[in-house]
Amino acid sequence: MTVAAIIPAAGSGKRLGGDTPKAFRLIAGTTLLRRSVDAVATSVDSVVVAVPPHWCVAAQAALAGAACPTAVVVGGATRQESVFVALTALAPSVDVVLVHDAARPLMPPAVVAAVVAAVHAGAAAVVPAVPVPDTVKSVDAAGRVIATVDRTALVAIQTPQGFRRDVLERAHGVASAVATDDAALVEALGIPVVTVPGHPAGFKITTPYDVVLAEALLGSRT
């Protein structure tokens, strides 16, 4: 099987703040984009990254010397659009597609390999899941608690998410609403999605706190 990864990296990073798009921000001297590509590169045959307009040259520079061939496309106004555009840039030979957020630079390659292995073993769609550690409650607009949700049935979902190419293309082709992940589009088709264990290091860089956390983790590894 030929495996490709799509890296949606076209967001601006509003919650992180600053002028540079989030994927091009540095963590311990290396862009999130490069770190996220490196996390998947040993498990895939090629990578397509979707970046903001005017960031293609910077992306090519950031990806020089990566462990697998990379292509750069301009993404869209939503994450879903960015993935859709990248899908159209895949080589015809690709039959398994991983979608991995540029914003998850520290996802261990072992989790990536487990996602690929699950697709190889026959799953049409695979997502990494981690337990939800906090008590979860639903609240009304004023912040008053309505109910405590049974968290034993809840997991938090990370990326990379792995798919049979035909399934992911069909899911994006018929998508009627904007979803926050690709598996939701596959679920809408009624196709089963399975989980593999994720990893806490695969957390998404969203706020400045997450940058501090990522740099601390990288510092503690050396």
Contacting residues toward Mg ion, per CB under 5 A: 11
Measured from the CB atom, is 2 or 12 closer to ligand CTP?
Answer: 12
The yes or no reply on residue 103 touching ligand CTP (CB under 6 A) is yes
CA distance 8 to 12: 11
| Residue 207 DSSP symbol | S
Please select the residue that binds ligand CTP; options are 3, 4, 6, 9, rule is CB under 6 A: 9
Tokens in use for 10?
């076209």
Which of these ranges, 4-12, 117-125, 127-135, 192-200, lies near ligand CTP under the rule CB under 6 A? 4-12
- Least Å distance between CB 103 and Mg ion? 8
Q: Which is nearer to ligand CTP, 117 or 217 (CB)?
A: 217
Give the C-alpha separation, 178 to 104, whole Å.
Answer: 21
Residue that has been written with the tokens 């608690």 in this structure: 145
167 Cα distance to chain centroid: 17
> Of 117 and 130, which has the nearer Cβ to ligand CTP?
130
Q: Is 174 exposed, middle or buried (0-12, 13-18, 19+ CB in 10 A)?
A: exposed
Residues that bind ligand CTP (CB under 6 A): 8-15, 22-23, 50, 75-79, 82, 101-103, 204, 206
